[in-house]
Structure 1
């Protein structure tokens, strides 16, 4: 299983805008449509990646725990569906249903959004504050498929808590590790 690390976009970067179709609702949304009053979590995931499968239940729990506290939650899939048809929009809707993803799961067909965010892997996490400035980017926690470390979401939960409760967050953040984004040739 190949492992790719996050690019670690500079903290303070303004959230790139996008207009993408939600595979759960068939509506097209922008970042501004979906942002939360306290902050916004943007994550790049896909249907087939074993790293995403490993963390998807924790991602859904985090979304359920923090959306009620004013955090917008957005998932985006940017993989090349010609080479990876299992990541296509119809199967994204099925994946969302199977995994109880009831937040937007957007399809980035052009891959322009992934490029704008400098996304490198799935999962890749970006937490923006209420002024749309990047507050955290990095890993969910230290758990990886097969490493025996229990899944906790501690790094991402700690970042969201720091954002909500106006605490200082260490700028030394660990990159996420996962499958590479499957870029079009």
Structure 2
């Protein structure tokens, strides 16, 4: 069986509970288990991280300047929170981004996060991914989504500015303290991720 087919089968097997109608998981809802391979061929299963205090998943895409600008800040957040039991992963749902191309991007831009390859797009569809650079904060206690949106409000399509709202770190502080997240959703910027099957289904509704 080819490697791509194996990844698709693994993703399908781990997401049998995800319906095609669930195209936008909202904070407060549960995140189903999944297993994907990263750019180095290592397998990652979401629910195997049950010993973590929180899981942060950022949507990545090759060549996206917004992601490239956001990743150094995400690395800083990882340095701050990893010792507190927070896991950080990237998710690539772009059909055109093969493992080889993703690995090349990671090497070129010194990205040392695992980049999970969602080449079947099942996970991206289930999460309701629209743009890159969006982050998902998941609480392993019940696997509930606590926050989705940008890391902060520093980036825009035109320029960078000092951040006034630190959504990601605020969400992590709340989850670690066992408190509600004050801002569970925020709008952000990023490169569009194309989901042909999603568009096909929508056109027939």
- Which one has the largest radius of gyration? 2
Question: Could you tell me the TM-score, scaled by structure 1's length?
Answer: 0.82
Counterpart for residue 131 of structure 2: 121
TM superposition shift of 1:171:
4.3
Q: Does 1:108 align with 2:118?
A: yes
Q: Per the alignment, in what secondary structure is the counterpart of residue 30 of structure 2? A: coil
Report the Cα distance in structure 1 between the residues aligned to 2:89 and 2:160, rounded to whole angstroms: 28
In 2: Cα distance, 1:130 partner to 1:76 partner: 18
Counterparts in 2 of 1:100 and 1:67: CA distance versus 1, 3 Å: farther
TM-score scaled to structure 2, two decimals? 0.75
User: What residue is the counterpart of 1:51 in the other structure?
Assistant: 66
Q: Which has the higher contact order (CA 8 A, sep 6+)?
A: 1
More strand by share: 1
State the superposition RMSD in angstroms: 2.3
| 1:14-163 map, 5 Å | 14-23=30-39, 25-34=40-49, 37-81=52-96, 87-131=97-141, 132-142=143-153, 143-150=155-162, 154-163=166-175
- Unmatched runs of 5 consecutive residues or more in structure 1: 1-6, 82-86
CA contact (8 A) 2:152 2:166 kept: yes
Q: Name the count of aligned residue pairs.
A: 173
- Structure with more of its chain in helix, by fraction: 2
Instruction: Please give the per-residue CA displacement for 1:96-155, whole angstroms capped at 9, x wherever unaligned.
Output: 234443332111110001001111110121101132101111111112243341368821
